[in-house]
Structure 1
Amino acid sequence: MNRHSFDKTQEVRIKVLQGMSLIIALVALVVAYVNIIISKVYILGAIEVLLAVFCFYTYYKTCISASKVWHRWAVAYAYFFVVFLAVYILKTDEGITHWICTFPILAYLLFGKKHGFISSFCLLFASVIPLYSFLSLGGANSLHLIVNLGLSYMTIWTVSHIYEAMRYSNQETILNLALRDPLTKAFNRRALQSRFSKQTIIDEPLCIALIDIDFFKKVNDKYGHDAGDAVLTQLTELFVEKFKDDNVFRMGG
């Protein structure tokens, strides 16, 4: 059974990409103005302008429903790269290191639990390298910065991971409630309609068997509804064993 037609995760991620693209673009323009006009850091400012332009482009693509998967990767990792570059150029003087704590949130919202975890770990490791190199310059202050930034990062990372894990678990629960019969755990009428509508588009042979239990009412009347439920459950398990879970649906009441 194809559950993707009922899964709205990708639609949510596109909305997140749309909002994050606009926010990053606006922030990048403000920071670029400060770096070019006030701080005279022209190279960094020019790169931030390019980041803003690309984020505005991605925002436009999401608005017309033409965004691609690579847009998410490009926006996220372009943002990560610019923040790392700013840390290397500005060091810790401008408070640019605070932006590192936004990495886990962005990674989990755009990529999900597995990719978010891997990205957050790699980005944390990559963040420590430039900050550690500043220890010889800043002494104890730089050490305090690394400790506090690391703890803040780990806290936000943990919260982001728990949130995404709970979201995924809740989504699976909702999908099961929507697509499966609560008694037999077989797929229900809604799932069959979705499966059938997709199968008819594909030019392949299709075979459907509709099975009814004769005199089932007598089972309920003689042995009780609990016994009838047990019969339905065991019969469904037999069908699942023979025909696989994706091919078994319950149409009755």
Structure 2
Amino acid sequence: MHPNKHHNQHVPNLPLAVHKGLSLIICAITFFYSLWNLVYLKLYLLASVELIIVSFSLFFFIQALKNQDKEWQHYTLVGMITVLVLLTPLQGDIRAGSLYWSILLPFVYFMMFGSRGGLILSLLLVFPVLYIIYTKTTHEGFLPYRAMVNYTLAHFCVWCLCYVYESQHQKDNLRLRNMALEDSLTGLKNRYALDAAFEHIDQHNIKAFMLLIDIDHFKAINDKFGHDIGNQILIEMADNLQMYANEEDVYRLGGEEFIIILSEKCEQEIYSTAESLRCFIENTLFHQHDLRLQLTISVGISRFLPGQSLSDFLRSADHNLYLAKQQGRNKVNHTLF
């Protein structure tokens, strides 16, 4: 077995992408309105608030470009946008239509904070907007109650669309993530999942052991009975391995090789678990169609050492697996303990 090099899988971050684009757009639009309110309309308080938002937005955009943005920046940016949308009609004339921008806020909330955060923030937004409509539309010929009803219904429709879309988006992301980290044949975790697990072990300096398991003479089984039987044996083997470890700790490395990661146990417990697993497989008949096959496994054990790379961790287990094979197979080897 030759370990592949570790690859970091970068998954697109939607909140970061939205934060990056939104901060730049808000910076540009708000700067334009701040000059307009300062020079033409003489709304100094509103213009001052807008210039503050311009500065923060530009700072957030630069941080996002460096991938150094923080969660508090997301909330601050969205909060500033909300304050600006609500403050503008309060400071100016509602007939200018600045309140129309509020209809875009639920989209921002859902994209930045998901279905739950979007739901809460969108619900809270309704009340100040209705207050503004009611208190600022006193001129003759305007029907504030109808306007409030129409806004509420429109806001509710937008909220429903956002909620349905974001909920489905989150489900699709979860499904794709599971597919990316799952072995398609056995349902076990795959090499990419192992990379993530090792990163957690390394960062937290967890006392961990690796059991590298290989089905003995598996190629001969494939050659004699065909790949369909071989695949079914791999599936049944995966089920058996999960009886000896939490399913979250069992991985298929590829071919007939499996890995079990065990932590917070002493060396003797690890060896006993591996030996018990080896005996169980040896005494288990694999039922495939009308065949009754008796299989054995060889196991190499390695212990994680602080500062060790995943390749070294695997290489140590692979070395012990090789020794187990040399000793006649159907063995557990932990020479490097």
Q: Which of the five TM-score ranges fits, normalised by the shorter chain? A: 0.7 to 0.9
For the pair shown, the structure with the greater C-alpha radius of gyration is 2
Identity %: 24
By how many angstroms is 1:33 displaced?
2.1
**Contact (CA 8 Å) 2:188, 2:238: kept in 1 or not?**
yes
By how many angstroms is 1:127 displaced?
1.9
In the alignment, residue 152 of structure 1 is paired with which amino acid? A
Q: Deviations over 1:125-182 (max 9, x none)?
A: 3322222334655665323432333333233322322332232222222222221011
**Contact (CA 8 Å) 1:220, 1:227: kept in 2 or not?**
no
2:155 to 124, 142, 153: 153
Distance 1:24 1:243, change over 3 A: same
Distance 1:201 1:141, change over 3 A: closer
User: Which runs of structure 2 are paired with 1:1-253 in the superposition (5 Å)?
Assistant: 6=9, 8=11, 11-134=13-136, 140-214=142-216, 218=221, 229=231, 231-240=233-242, 242-253=244-255
By how many angstroms is 1:251 displaced?
2.2
**Contact (CA 8 Å) 1:35, 1:44: kept in 2 or not?**
yes
By how many angstroms is 1:225 displaced?
6.2
**Contact (CA 8 Å) 1:51, 1:78: kept in 2 or not?**
yes
Distance 1:60 1:196, change over 3 A: closer
By how many angstroms is 1:36 displaced?
2.1
In the alignment, residue 74 of structure 2 is paired with which amino acid? R
**Contact (CA 8 Å) 2:18, 2:111: kept in 1 or not?**
yes
In 1, Cα distance between equivalents of 2:253 and 2:68: 38
By how many angstroms is 1:105 displaced?
1.2
Distance 1:139 1:236, change over 3 A: farther
**Contact (CA 8 Å) 2:90, 2:136: kept in 1 or not?**
no
Distance 1:241 1:44, change over 3 A: farther
**Contact (CA 8 Å) 2:109, 2:117: kept in 1 or not?**
yes
SS in 2 for 1:112: helix
By how many angstroms is 1:205 displaced?
2.1
Greater fraction helix: 1
By how many angstroms is 1:114 displaced?
1.7
**Contact (CA 8 Å) 2:182, 2:189: kept in 1 or not?**
yes
In 2, Cα distance between equivalents of 1:21 and 1:57: 9
Give the corresponding residue for 2:275. Answer: none
**Greater RCO, 1 or 2 (C-alpha within 8 Å, sep 6+):** 1
By how many angstroms is 1:241 displaced?
5.1
**Contact (CA 8 Å) 2:94, 2:137: kept in 1 or not?**
no
In 2, Cα distance between equivalents of 1:138 and 1:192: 69
Distance 1:185 1:220, change over 3 A: farther
Give the corresponding residue for 2:294. Answer: none
Q: Deviations over 1:198-252 (max 9, x none)?
A: 5345433221112334566659966x86666555445434543542232011123
Greater displacement, 99-108 / 136-145: 136-145
Greater displacement, 225-234 / 83-92: 225-234
User: What are structure 1's unaligned runs of at least 5 residues?
Assistant: none
SS in 1 for 2:133: helix
Q: Deviations over 1:55-81 (max 9, x none)?
A: 112112222333221111111001101
In the alignment, residue 168 of structure 1 is paired with which amino acid? Q
Distance 1:188 1:64, change over 3 A: closer
Please, what is the CA RMSD of the aligned residues? Answer: 2.8
**Contact (CA 8 Å) 1:98, 1:149: kept in 2 or not?**
no
In 1, Cα distance between equivalents of 2:146 and 2:63: 42
Greater fraction strand: 2
**Contact (CA 8 Å) 1:220, 1:228: kept in 2 or not?**
no
Q: TM-score, normalised by structure 2?
A: 0.64
SS in 2 for 1:251: strand
